[in-house]
Amino acid sequence: STFSTPVTVSLIEGDGIGVEITESVKRIFAKAGAPIIWEDCDVGPIIKNNNTAIPDKAVASIKKNKVALKGPLATPIGKGHRSLNLTLRQTFGLFANLRPAASIQGYDFLYKDIDFVVVRENTEGEYFGVEHQINDDNVVSIKLITSKASEKVIKFAIDQAAKIDRKKVVVVTQETVQPKTDGLFKKTGESLASYNKDIEIEFELLETYIYNSVKDPKKYHDYVVVAPNLYGDIITDLNSGLAVGSLGMTPSANIGTDVSIFEAVHGSAPDIAGKDLANPSAMLFAGCMLLEHVGLGEYSEKIKKAALATIAEGIKTGDLKGKSSNTEYTNAIIAKL
């Protein structure tokens, strides 16, 4: 790790429940003794040259610290506003989205003992965002795939597999239907066969992968799954639904070459904001991914263990069919630490 302790982290509290769950994370990290200094960061949004932009001060903070923990941001409603999340991804070149989804003891969902790890390409594909209106009844969308972005994200998936001790990477595409775009993604994967001789690279059609992941999800315990942007987006949400069943539990990491931003997958939950009902776990586990990223995995283990044990004992928030408030759940974790 290139980070020296204490690690300064840019903290974007976010909107809605962001305020409450950020407070929980800060309290739990402090009790665990994690050597983190939080640097509060207001990301705006501001409008610059007719585009959504992030204030210079926030950009400077994140560039300097190289790591940020981010609460949910409400997308401003109205024409001409690009989503701030997309803006962050583009501003910092966050090329890979890493999303684990594992079953939780004490909250059985559709399946037990599921443990998916998926890496989604985060910058191109259909999300490149170019669509054309030919006329009222005919439209086209442009999907961009480059060997450069494909190589970066597949290499990241292989590195991740090595790091978390999985033996295989499966590259998921629909190259039968999209031989040029998905074909290039797959070919790039094939060219990386000897990138790490300890990790085997396999290939699966999207339709086969989806079928297998629902029919026999444990098959993927040995794998890191990597896919182009849109497929990755769908696969990660499917996995969260299969394994976890609450948005309040799922973290993700947006990885760039220089900067990485860790966040909860859920939004600002305006329906429960300010009521002390939010589950802070997704943001807490995003913080844990950050700890692992900066070489402080021991604190991550300690915090995750305390949170999961608290849930297993039945102290859990409403999204997990529990009766505890955010504060009660947070206090119980702190008591364990």
Enumerate binding residues for ligand NAD (CB under 6 A).
17, 72-75, 85, 247-248, 263, 266-272, 278-279, 282, 319
CB-CB contact of 126 with 229 (8 Å): yes
- Measure CA 87 to chain center: 16
Distance in Å, CB of 90 to ligand NAD, minimum: 15
CB-CB contact of 150 with 188 (8 Å): yes
Classify 3 as helix, strand or coil: coil
Compare residues 9 and 73 and give the one whose CB is closer to ligand NAD.
73
Residue 23 burial by Cβ neighbours in a 10 Å radius (0-12, 13-18, 19+): middle
Compare residues 8 and 75 and give the one whose CB is closer to ligand NAD.
75
Distance in Å, CB of 187 to ligand NAD, minimum: 32
Compare residues 98 and 247 and give the one whose CB is closer to ligand NAD.
247
Separation between Cα atoms, residue 4 and residue 19, nearest integer Å: 28
Compare residues 226 and 247 and give the one whose CB is closer to ligand NAD.
247
Q: Helix crossing, 297-312 with 326-336: angle to 10°?
A: 120
Work out the number of other CB atoms within 10 angstroms of the CB of residue 203: 16
Compare residues 179 and 270 and give the one whose CB is closer to ligand NAD.
270
One-letter amino acid at 237 equals D
Give residue for tokens 């980070």. 3
Distance in Å, CB of 152 to ligand NAD, minimum: 22
Classify 180 as helix, strand or coil: coil
Distance in Å, CB of 250 to ligand NAD, minimum: 9
Tell me the residue number closest to ligand NAD, measured at CB: 267
Distance in Å, CB of 266 to ligand NAD, minimum: 3
